Amino acid sequence: MNKEKLIEAARMARENAYCPYSRFMVGAAVLGENGKVYTGCNIENASYGVTVCAERVAIFTMVADGCRKFEALAVVGGGEEDGAPCMICRQVMTEFCKDFDVPVYVGGPTKVYEHSMKEICPLPFVSFKENEDYHH
């Protein structure tokens, strides 16, 4: 799957966002290493602490389907700024990315920027035993 299709999947997922409090719609799509695309949208709650971001919904859906690693991720916000992942999502992304060079496409209404996982999360909390190559 090319990046444009992944970004479009995130844009489509954004339309399902449940955000009556912030009114900030976000969609995400991850390409699992199994070749499937998993999508998610932000889901808010009156108790703000239980709100879930689009990236985590997409990744958790992938994991629930039995896939444990993703090869690319796209996230699209709906405000004036791009929808960069929050730090909680970045930490979850480090747990399930195939490697720290996977592309992360971050976009807003008009532009999409490409980063690597390592660029957007340079010092993640990781198990050094499992990720010895990260800090080299």
Domain with 9, as residue range(s), is 3-120
Q: Is 71 a catalytic residue?
A: no
Residue from 55, 67, 59 nearest 14 by CA: 55
CA pair distance 54, 74, nearest whole angstrom: 10
User: Are the C-beta atoms of 1 and 39 separated by less than 8 Å?
Assistant: no
| Domain membership flag for residue 129 | no
Asked, for residue 16, whether it belongs to a domain, the answer is yes
Catalytic residue among 8, 55, 80, 132: 55
CATH number at residue 95: 3.40.140.10
User: Is residue 17, in this structure, part of any structural domain at all?
Assistant: yes
Q: Give the predicted TM-score (pTM) of the model.
A: 0.90
Chain segment 45-72, per-residue pLDDT in tens? 999 999 999 999 999 999 999 999 999 9
The answer to whether position 127 is within a domain reads: no
d(CA 77, CA 97): 21
15 part of a folded domain: yes
Residue 21 lies in a domain: yes
- Domain total for the chain? 1
Q: Is residue 136 included in any domain, yes or no?
A: no
User: pLDDT tens digit string along 35-48?
Assistant: 999 999 999 999 99
